[in-house]
Amino acid sequence: MVWVSTSSARTRRTGPKSRMTGSQRREQLIEVGRRLFAERGFEGSSVEEIAASAKVSKPVVYEHFGGKEGLYAVVVDREIADLTARITEALGSASSPRVLIERAALALMDYIEEETDGFRILVRDSPPGQSTGSFASLMGDVASQVEHLMVAQFKGRGLDTKAAPMYAQMLVGMVALTGQWWMDSNRKFSRADVAAHLVNLAWNGLSAMEERPTLRG
């Protein structure tokens, strides 16, 4: 009979722990960075904390991203792409101007509800020297998409179309700031209620507010 030590048997059963591939490690660092940036902001997070949370050494972070700034840029780019895709789909599927406002508002509320950390990162100040990829620039792009619809509405109502771009900025800004307020207010209203009240003000104006606004899209 051959006897095998307990420690040897355990080693053979469990085997060595598998190491992450380079792409897996990169994804792990992105998730860790995203969480820390959402909790503490860019300035409040450090490479040391990111490495410690991921259980790696600092050089690993530098190897993949070149530093905290590189990691932050990747996180922001992903959030921008996600939110842009949601809003673009919403704008492209609207059957009327009112439904367009509804769906754009709901797209933002969905994103805030499902990706709260991502939205928290986007609405914070960007690191020094970063001029693109910010939430403000994204909302500016959305306003540009809405602008031609505002022009059509102004023409149909005999209004000066030169003011349409300004109104597009107002509309998008109202939705964006309300979304931020909703995130910070513990979401006492449902996302559908918030969207309905946004449309109520944007579509009817203060002089024609509906008593019990509902979505129609």
Give CA–CA dist 1/156, Å, rounded: 95
pLDDT in tens, 155-164: 888 888 898 8
Mean pLDDT confidence for 70-77: 94
pLDDT in tens, 34-56: 999 999 999 999 999 999 999 99
Asked if the model's pLDDT at residue 6 lies above 70, the reply is no
DSSP string, 155-186: HHTT--GGGHHHHHHHHHHHHHHHHHHHHHTT
Rounded distance between C-alpha atoms, residue 101 and residue 105, angstroms: 6
Q: Could you give the CA distance from residue 119 to residue 112 in angstroms, rounded to a whole number?
A: 6
Which pLDDT belongs to residue 17?
A: 58
pLDDT of residue 2: 47
C-beta separation of 194 from 77 below 8 A: no
Q: Mean pLDDT lowest for which of 85-89, 134-138, 197-201? A: 134-138
User: What number is the average pLDDT over the span 170-180?
Assistant: 89
In this structure, what DSSP letter does residue 21 have? Answer: P
